[in-house]
Amino acid sequence: MITAFYAGVDAGLPPEALVLEMYMSGEMSRTFATFAAQGFYRSTTWHGLAAQYGGYLRFGDVDIDAMDRAFRATIDDIRSGGFAATLQAERDAGYPTLAAIQAMTAGDDPISDAERRLRAALEGGPS
């Protein structure tokens, strides 16, 4: 989502339009609900033709091998106890990463700014 947002902004798309299209419209949550109700592949039929075609066409652009390696590395890290060990070390050190997480989620970034402006516009208030 973050990569798509910045790619769109770099291409000149309005940040508010990007966050609306990517998730603030609620379409993504409806899509995931349809995965559960209809099945992953079958849910595709609930989209318009342009979305079906675009999804099918762009799927081939995804680096499946890199994603597979990343997912398997994560599974291996969990199975080996590596994740648990690093989490315990994090706890033992007083959670030093927490400050980075809090800074990242503080809302002082272009995505959060676009979300605030969009909410204000949708509610009819100042941005």
pLDDT of residue 17: 97
Query: What pLDDT sits at residue 4?
Result: 95
CA distances from 53 to 47, 49, 59, 82 (A): 10, 6, 10, 41
The helix/strand/coil state of 109 is: coil
CB atoms within 10 A of CB 89: 10
User: What is the model's pTM?
Assistant: 0.77
Output the tens digit of pLDDT for each of the chain's 127 residues: 999 999 999 999 999 999 999 999 998 899 999 999 999 999 988 888 998 999 899 988 999 999 999 999 999 999 999 999 999 999 999 999 999 999 999 999 999 999 999 999 999 866 5
- For helices 2-10 and 110-123, angle between their N-to-C axes, nearest 10 degrees: 80
The Cα–Cα gap between 123 and 125 comes to 6
